[in-house]
Structure 1
Amino acid sequence: MATAATNSASRTVWSRVRSVPAAYPFAFGVVLSGFKTSFSDLLVQKVVEQREKIDWKRNAAFATFGFVYLGGVQYMIYVPLFSRLFPGAATFAAKPIREKLKDSKGLFQLFAQVFLDQCVHHPLMYFPAFYCTRELVMKEKPDLAKTLATYRANLQEDLLALWKVWVPGTLINFAFMPMYARIPFVAGISLLWTCILSTMRGGDVAHGEDMAGGAVTRATLVMMEEGFGELFTSPVELDRHKHHIMLTASGTDKKGWVALLAREIAESGGNVTHSKMVRLGKEFIVLMHISVEPGAQNALIRKLKKSKELKPLNIQCGSISRRQTGTYEQAVMGVRVRCQGADKPGMLASIAESLAEAGLNVESLTTELQRHNSFSHSGRTDFVVTADCVTSQKMSKEQIQAMVRRLESIKDMLVLDVVDIRVQHRTNVRD
Structure 2
Amino acid sequence: MMGEHHLVFTVIATDRPGLVERLADAIAESGGNWVDSSMSRLGGEFAGIVSIEIPAGRLGDLHQHFDRLIADGIAITLRSEPQAAEEVAGISASLEVVCQDHPGILRDVTQVLTGLGISIETLETSVAAGSMQGERLFTARAELRLPEGVTAAAVSAALEETAGDLMADIKITD
Q: What TM bracket, shorter-length normalisation?
A: 0.7 to 0.9
Question: Residue in 2 aligned with 1:320?
Answer: 81
1:290 aligns with 2:45: no
Map of 1:337 onto structure 2: 95
Q: Is 1:412 aligned to 2:164, yes or no?
A: yes
Change (3 A) 1:371 1:292: farther
CA offsets, 1:207-262, max 9 Å, x none? Answer: xxxxxxxxxxxxxxxxxxxxxxxxxxxxxxxxxx7421122232333332223222
- Alpha-carbon distance between aligned partners in 2 of 1:276 and 1:385, rounded to the nearest angstrom: 16
Q: Following superposition of structure 1 onto structure 2, how do residues 168-207 of structure 1 map, counting pairs within 5 Å?
A: none
One-letter amino acid of the counterpart of residue 314, structure 1 = A
Conserved? CA contact 1:358–1:407, under 8 Å = no
DSSP-derived class of the 1:246 partner: strand
1:349 is the counterpart of 2:100: no
CA contact under 8 A between 1:245 and 1:297: conserved in structure 2? no
Q: Shift of residue 284 of structure 1?
A: 3.0
CA distance in 1, matches of 2:8, 2:156: 34
Q: SS where residue 340 of structure 1 aligns?
A: strand
Residue 300 of structure 1, CA deviation: 1.8
CA RMSD after TM alignment: 3.0
Q: 1:280 to 1:404 in 2, by over 3 A?
A: closer
Counterpart Cα distance in 1 of 2:117 and 2:76: 35
Match of 1:264 in 2: 26
Structure 1, residues 189-224: CA drift from partner, whole Å, max 9, x if none? xxxxxxxxxxxxxxxxxxxxxxxxxxxxxxxxxxxx
Percent sequence identity is 28
- Residues 304/360 of structure 1: CA separation in 2 closer, same or farther (3 Å cut): same
User: Hey, what's the Cα distance between the residues in 1 that align with 2:13 and 2:90?
Assistant: 40
- Separation in 2, partners of 1:324, 1:246: 11
Amino acid at match of 1:386: R
2:145 maps to 1:390: yes
Unmatched runs of 5 consecutive residues or more in structure 1: 1-240, 424-431
- On the 8 A contact 2:155/2:172 being kept in 1, the answer is no
Give the C-alpha shift of residue 406 in structure 1. Answer: 1.2
For structure 2, list consecutive stretches of 5 or more residues without a partner in the other structure: none
User: Are residues 1:358 and 2:116 paired?
Assistant: yes
What one-letter code is carried by the residue in structure 1 that aligns with 2:72?
K
SS of the aligned residue for 2:73 comes to helix
Deviations 1:4-24 (A, max 9, x none): xxxxxxxxxxxxxxxxxxxxx
CA contact (8 A) 2:6 2:84 kept: no
What does 1:25-424 correspond to in 2, within 5 Å? 242-307=4-69, 311-322=72-83, 331-372=89-130, 377-395=132-150, 401-416=153-168, 418-423=169-174
Q: CA deviation at 1:264?
A: 2.6
Is 1:338–1:419's contact at 8 Å kept on the other side of the alignment?
A: yes
Compared CA separation, residues 323 and 344, structure 1 to 2 (3 A): same
Q: Report if aligned partners of 1:301, 1:317 keep a CA contact under 8 Å in 2.
A: no
1:333, 1:394 within 8 Å by CA — same for their partners in 2? no
Equivalent-residue separation in structure 1 for 2:161 and 2:35 (angstroms): 35
Distance 2:88 2:39 in 1: 29
Return the letter of the residue paired with 2:163: K
TM-score, normalised to structure 1, is 0.35
Residues 285 and 400 from structure 1, CA distance in 2 versus in 1: closer, same or farther, beyond 3 angstroms?
closer
- Distance of 2:146 and 2:84 partners within structure 1: 16
Deviations 1:263-316 (A, max 9, x none): 3323333333332333344433332222223433332222221348x6211323
**Is the alpha carbon distance of 1:322 and 1:383 closer, same or farther for their aligned partners in structure 2, counting shifts above 3 Å?**
farther
Higher relative contact order (CA 8 A, sep 6+): 2
Q: Which amino acid aligns with 1:382?
A: L
Question: Amino acid of the residue matched to residue 420 of structure 1?
Answer: K
Which structure: greater helix fraction? 1
TM-superposed CA distance for 1:390, in Å, is 2.0
8 A contact 2:152–2:172 mirrored in 1: no
Distance 1:377 1:274, change over 3 A: farther
